[in-house]
Amino acid sequence: MPHALQRRWELDALRGLMLVLMTLTHMPTMYSLPTGQPLGFVSAAEGFVFLSAFMAGRVYGNRARRDGVVVMQSAFHQRAFKLYLCQLGLLLLAFTVIAWLGVHNRQGGVTGLLEFFFIDPQAAVLGAALLLHNPPLLDILPLYIALMLVSPWLLRHALRHGWAGVLSISALLWVAEQWGLGLALHELVGLPIPYKDMGAFHWFAWQALWVTGLWLGARQQPLPRIPFWCVVPAAMYAAGMLLWRHMVGQDPMPGVPAVGLLLDKWSLGPLRVLNFASVFVLLVTFGPWLKQVLPRPLPLELLGRNSLSVFCAHIVIALFTLAFFGSPEVVRPWSTDVALLASAFAGLFAVAMAVETRERLGGRAALVWQSGPQVR
């Protein structure tokens, strides 16, 4: 097909893996904590955001060169609007059915999740519609939407003037967030929504991960070959973080908050960024070899090809599980938690297959990107 950008199945598989890890983490079972951050002090959220940025840069950068920046910008905005509609649907479910079930079933996991909504419903609903109030589990899409909205401006500038300025400003914003930029701006503006209820992800930090992925994806050259002198320390650091994570748990050093800040997920602490970078170096170095020796993970590809639908489905399933079965702190037989996870994954695969079946019947190509990243 002319001008079609061939899908890369390994990227779909990686994003499918991120969705599996997110589901294991977000489902309120006894396996939530053990399976969280399985590769060290780095989570599926970092991988998901970075991969989404890389694919957006690859597809929309190609679109800008082929059809012009105006068409590219329009495609970004259409995608962001679709994401916003998904977020509104999830919020509507949370503020109505899930909130009622949480109160009716006396499930503290739900009432805690929607705490600000129960305190000030009007401010919560208005703030959520404006992407200012983002309850737990519902705070990833707002970050994604904001980054999608700013990306066409970043791409347009970078395609005309280069990436040096964009990357420099992004790095400075990340550094400023390590010193509390977001909290300082919140106090300066005086928003009626508490800072903790605006979402766990600190946008000024996470934009750096997105901008880096966008830059790498928009490059017309393949990813650079990593020199050996970088691979060895990256492997040592990644291995050390992996052992540390599984020896002490997700709190790297209980009772020493300064160390926790260096590895903080929500502000992307510097040691955490280094952990992600080390895993990335290893993946880029050994990925081609793994691609040759491992069988294609078709189930993961299926999830990754339909990532938006699957992502929303996993949030819905997690919310209903919280409303009926409670939080991970609730003691349940292991068999019950296994059944909950099995049912959740069955639901995710059913959603992915239903979306593909619908699009196949509608005549849409499943193996190419045409008007933007088909990250349904």
| Tens-place pLDDT, residues 182-203 | 999 999 998 899 999 999 999 9
Distance CA 39, CA 25 (A): 13
Q: Which span out of 29-38, 92-101, 281-290 was modeled with the highest average pLDDT?
A: 92-101
Tell me the mean pLDDT in the region 15-37.
94
- Residue 85 pLDDT exceeds 60: yes
Q: Evaluate whether 332 touches 38 at the Cβ level (below 8 Å).
A: no
C-alpha 315/C-alpha 318 separation (Å) is 5
Nearest to 310 by CA among 53, 21, 91, 66: 21
For residues 134-143, average pLDDT: 96
CA dihedral of residues 191, 196, 197, 203 (deg, nearest 10): 80
The candidate with the shortest Cα–Cα distance to 130, out of 184, 72, 191, is 191
pLDDT at 101 over 80: yes
Alpha-carbon gap, residue 20 to 12, rounded angstroms: 12
pLDDT greater than 80 at residue 6: no
376 within domain boundaries = no
Look at residue 204 in the predicted model and tell me its pLDDT.
97
| pLDDT in the model for residue 91 | 97
61-71 mean pLDDT:
92
Residue 23 predicted with pLDDT over 60: yes
Which pLDDT does position 16 carry in this prediction?
Answer: 96
Question: What pLDDT is recorded for position 370?
Answer: 39
Enter the pTM of the model: 0.91
Q: How confident is the model at residue 369 (pLDDT cuts 50, 70, 90)?
A: very low
> Residue 190 corresponds to which tokens in the numbers above?
């005086």
Residue 274 lies in a domain: yes
Sign for the pseudo-dihedral over CA of 59, 306, 94, 38: negative
Q: Mean per-residue pLDDT for 169-193? A: 95
Q: Please give the average per-residue pLDDT across 146-164, as a whole number.
A: 95
Q: What is the mean pLDDT of residues 227-247?
A: 95
Position 374 scores a pLDDT of 42
- 368 strand-pairing partners: 6
Q: Where are the alpha helices (DSSP H) in the chain?
A: 9-26, 32-35, 44-67, 69-93, 99-104, 108-113, 115-119, 121-129, 140-161, 164-178, 181-189, 203-218, 228-248, 257-262, 270-293, 298-305, 307-325, 334-361
Q: Is residue 195 part of a domain?
A: yes
pLDDT(171) > 80: yes
Structure-token pair, residue 290: 């793994």
Task: State what percent of residues in the chain have pLDDT above 90.
Answer: 82
Question: Which domain covers residue 239, as residue numbers?
Answer: 5-369
Structure tokens at 138: 């519902």
Q: Please report whether residue 116 resides in a domain.
A: yes
pLDDT of 367: 38
Task: Tell me how long the chain is.
Answer: 376
Inside any domain, residue 76: yes
Greater confidence (262 vs 374) lies with 262
Instruction: Using the predicted structure, report yes or no on whether residue 132 has a pLDDT greater than 70.
Output: yes
Q: How many CA atoms lie within 13 A of 77 on its CB side?
A: 7
Averaged over 25-51, what is the pLDDT? 93
Two structure tokens written together for 218:
């928009």
According to the model, what pLDDT value does residue 363 have? 54
H/E stretch holding 5 reads strand 5-6
Give the pLDDT mean for 356-376: 56
Residue 202 maps to a domain = yes
Question: Are the C-beta atoms of 30 and 328 separated by less than 8 Å?
Answer: yes
Res 5: pLDDT: 61
pLDDT of 360 > 90? The answer is: no
CA-CA distance, 360 to 366, in Å (whole number)? 7
Residue-wise over 90-123: b if at least 16 C-beta within 10 A, else e?
bbebbbeebbebbeeeebebbbebbebbeebeeb
Residue 144 placed within a domain? yes
Evaluate whether residue 375 is within a structural domain: no
Q: How many independent structural domains does the chain possess?
A: 1
Residue 6 DSSP SS3:
strand
Q: What is the pLDDT of residues 245-292, one digit of tens each?
A: 999 998 998 888 899 999 999 999 999 999 999 999 999 999 999 999
Q: For residue 153, give every residue at least 6 positions away whose Cβ sits within 8 Å of its Cβ, in sequence order, or none.
A: none
